[in-house]
Chains A and B, each alone.
Chain A
Amino acid sequence: MQTFDLSADGLRALNAALQAQAQQTNETAWEVVNPRGSHAIAVGLDAPIEVTVKGSTGYYCAGMNQQATVHVKGSVGPGVAENMMSGTVIVEGDASQYAGATGHGGLLVIKGNASSRCGISMKGIDIVVQGNVGHMSAFMAQKGNLVVCGDAGDALGDSIYEARLFVRGSVKSLGADCIEKEMRPEHIEILTDLLDRAGIDARPEEFRRYGSARQLYNFDIDNAY
């Protein structure tokens, strides 16, 4: 286990050390102490390592992640796991706005609540939120799955393309072109797997599925101004 004191050694040294890890590294376990809300902790990783951040972080924690597992034992600021490609990011606390924005792959788990714009423009990432999500979540979502075990705020899935949205609680309102869809056996299967991988105990049958009505992104002369 490598322990890195962020307040003593600085952010650049931490990210340089983590980014320098090769595919076959033996130093697979890292611990970051004293994050004190700093920005851009553990960004741009590209090796199968495990990083534990002991405390809360600021903007863009674990951004652009590939392969690595980043576990935050606190809350995260805006843009956690932004543009993640693969790997896993787990947040024990809450996440601020645009968690998992534009993510292409990997799994983001938020054990608390996520605020506005969770999964905005997601492109293949899987996001599982144990609590609630704020307004405009999955805005322009293109691909991937957003699972919300609590409630969703206003305008869920506004202008959505092809992502799947699963919500267990209430949805304050659906955004433009987002509709409720039938929960078929294959969706129960996807959801069971996601909940299992996220380590969240919830019954897939209790969720409703939402997705695109496909009226907005197909050319329709009535949509032109």
Chain B
Amino acid sequence: MCGIVGLFLKDKSLEPRLGEMLTEMLITMSDRGPDSAGIAVYAKGEDGQGKLTLQAADPGVFAGLEDELSAAIDAPVTVRIKDTHAVLTLPEDKLKEARQAVKRLRPDTRVMSAGEIIEIYKEVGLPGDVAKRFDIPHLTGSHGIGHTRMATESAVTTLGAHPFSTGADQCLVHNGSLSNHNSLRRKLAHEGVQVETENDTEVAAAYLTWKMQEGQSLGEALESGLNDLDGFYTFVVGTKDGFGVLRDPIACKPAVMAETDQYVAFGSEYRALVNLPGIEDARVWEPEPATVYFWKH
């Protein structure tokens, strides 16, 4: 099954409420995916600064990282620890260097996301509990995507939870299952694109990242996906300033969208949208199969 929620704000005055609104939407989708939950939030920081979200089974390993990493990359680093995750803020041009240094300094950590403004939090457990652990309701931001997982293609683990991020400020969540992910994983490896898990969705995320590295826009990459990704999917993707939706041509995985002057919202079911401001007068529709939808700030 799985549940997806997404919110792309047009009205800046709603930005302080992004986490709160997304959490409410996410919890409504608990019975579509009680195994694990995750959320990607796009929150603008200071100019020139970038973010690295790390995850560790034992958050104790984050102790001392701030100083050690600052020394390693010769730049100021701040570390914000949230349960099993840590969000590192550092100069954007040092992100690549910092990633390599973290690998050396803390080999037991995994990178959840990297980019100018993206933060990703995901864990095993009920969506409400996961949101609480990471204090999601207090997050602010311009757009965000959440996922509740009922696992089919790989084990219930933190790393198997969505969203997946395979490129700077990119993320993808998925309801469905891909049948050609193994062959596609080999094809991507041949192209020099590595994925970290056995999960089918991560392959789709890596595929889109690869297409964009080849020069395609997100919209074009999604169009290419219609030919190359075999299986069932409703995808919601996020970029630094954009928000996209794509359903496979059969479109049996549900999707409802709502748009007002203030926001564009996505829900696997209408239930997820009922508490949004002005939903009574929103334009509510079901996205068409095999059609790319994309909004940009």
Contact = CB atoms under 8 A, between A and B. Distances in A.
Interface size grouping (class) on chain A: 10 to 19
Interface of A: 36-38, 56, 58-59, 75, 77-78, 94, 96-97, 115-116, 134-135
A91 B286 CA distance: 16
Given A75-B284, A96-B254, A116-B251, A37 B270 contact: yes
A75 B270 contact: yes
A134 B252 CA distance: 12
B45 interface: no
A115 B289 CA distance: 10
B274 interface: yes
Q: Which one of A37, A116, A135 has the greatest number of beta carbons of chain B within 10 Å?
A: A37
A36 B275 CA distance: 9
B82 to A, nearest CB: 31
A94 B286 contact: yes
Contacts of B269: 37, 58-59, 77
A96 B286 CA distance: 7
A78 B284 CA distance: 15
B271 interface: yes
B295 interface: no
A116 B286 CA distance: 10
A213 B245 CA distance: 38
Interface size grouping (class) on chain B: 10 to 19
A56 B286 contact: no
B270 A78 contact: no
B285 interface: yes
B271 A38 contact: yes
Nearest to A115: B286
B251 A58 contact: no
Contacts, number: 40
A97 B286 CA distance: 10
Given A77-B269, A96-B286, A115-B286, A36 B254 contact: no
Contacts of B251: 97, 115-116, 134-135
Contacts of B274: 36-37
A78 B252 CA distance: 10
A56 B272 CA distance: 12
B252 A97 contact: yes
A200 B48 CA distance: 60
B258 to A, nearest CB: 11
Interface in B238-297: 251-252, 254, 256, 269-274, 284-286, 288-289
A58 B285 contact: no
B252 A36 contact: no
A161 B270 CA distance: 34
B289 A116 contact: yes
Nearest to B31: A39
B285 A78 contact: no
Contacts of B285: 94
A115 B284 CA distance: 13
A58 B32 CA distance: 13
Contacts of B273: 37
A36 B289 contact: no
A68 B53 CA distance: 55
A56 B267 CA distance: 14
A59 to B, nearest CB: 8
Contacts of A59: 269
B28 to A, nearest CB: 9
Q: Which one of A38, A56, A58, A59 has the greatest number of beta carbons of chain B within 10 Å?
A: A56
